[in-house]
Amino acid sequence: PSNILIDYCMYNRCYTHPFADKSCAKNEKPQLRMQQWRDLMGGAVPSIYGYHFDCWGQRELTPVERVIQDEMKWARDFGVTYWHTELFQNRLETVKGKPAPDPLDDQILTLRFPVYCATRLAWNPDLDLGDVKRDWCTRVYGAAKDEMAAYFTALEDLWSAATTHPSWYFVGPSEFVDGILNAANIAKIDALFAAGEKKLAGSTDARAKDNFTLDRRQWEHWRDMKLARDSRRQ
């Protein structure tokens, strides 16, 4: 019936590789299941409910912009008319007698850039992600816009080239960080943040500085996870 909405909850996909990457075998299953449900439903197409932002949890930035764009295009071409994905927001309230809440404990703050991209792409999945990224960085990071655009691009490249295939939701990120980061790309991204910090040093743009600091903390959380694992092996 036209007044019934049926979602396919696509947590069985790989969050690092787009459907267009045929080398990722894990992504064959959700596409097959969507086709099987369409056949069972007499040609009607189920909606998609995703878990892209639940891959790890709160504190880990998940650079899924390319994955989401690819999935939205695939869904549109498959006939999906309703695509949505899960996102949590924690209320970061200050409670008397307790430590101040950490912004990294709010998923919307941690993931605000990929969430922004997903929102823009929901209107038009054919947008140029590079243009969306430059718009975001110019508005959010001020003098450090070029370094932050390069940072997000570096993360997207590492994510796409990952040798790991995280799926489902709230999995342990430390299991996958070895397949994403290494000493060379850590040094490259650290240098981008050092250059951005230098540019912002003389700036009076407090908002840009706050946003830059939050993203640097997110990066350091990933970086230190990898460095700790490497240290334990030595």
The pLDDT tens digits of the residues spanning 195-214 come to: 999 999 989 999 999 999 99
Reply yes or no on whether the pLDDT at 91 is more than 70: no
Token pair 């390319």: residue: 66
Indicate the SS3 state at residue 51: coil
Mean pLDDT, range 32-53, rounded to an integer: 93
pLDDT at site 89: 73
CA angle 22, 28, 32 (to 5 degrees): 140
CB distance 27 to 17 below 8 Å: yes
List 49's β-bridge partners, or say none. Answer: 9, 84
Mean pLDDT, range 96-102, rounded to an integer: 73
Residue 193 in tokens: 């943040």
pLDDT given for residue 50 in this prediction = 95
Residues 6+ apart with CB under 8 A from 9: 49, 50, 51
CA 80 to chain centre: 22
Q: Say what the pLDDT of residue 129 is.
A: 95
- 133: helix, strand or coil: helix
Q: Would you give the DSSP letter of residue 47?
A: E
Q: What percent of the chain has pLDDT over 70?
A: 96
Predicted confidence band of residue 69 (pLDDT cuts 50, 70, 90)? very high
Which of 97 and 20 is assigned the larger pLDDT? Answer: 20
Structure tokens at 127: 């947008």
Statement: residue 163 has pLDDT above 90? no
95 pLDDT higher than 70: no
Q: Cβ distance 114 to 170 under 8 Å?
A: no
Is pLDDT of 102 > 70? yes
Predicted pLDDT at 229: 87
Contact criterion met (CB below 8 Å) for 69 and 116: no
Quote the pLDDT of residue 54: 87
Q: What is the residue type of 3?
A: N
Which three-class secondary structure state does DSSP give residue 46? coil
**Do β-strands 7-9 and 83-85 pair in parallel, antiparallel, or remain unpaired?**
unpaired
Q: Is residue 140 scored above 70 in pLDDT? A: yes
Write the DSSP symbol of residue 170. S
Alpha-carbon radius of gyration of the chain: 19
- Residue type at position 212: F
Residue 49's SS3 state is strand
Tell me what percent of the residues of the chain surpass a pLDDT of 90.
Answer: 62
How sure is the predictor about 92, in pLDDT bands with cuts at 50, 70 and 90?
low
Whole-model pTM?
0.90
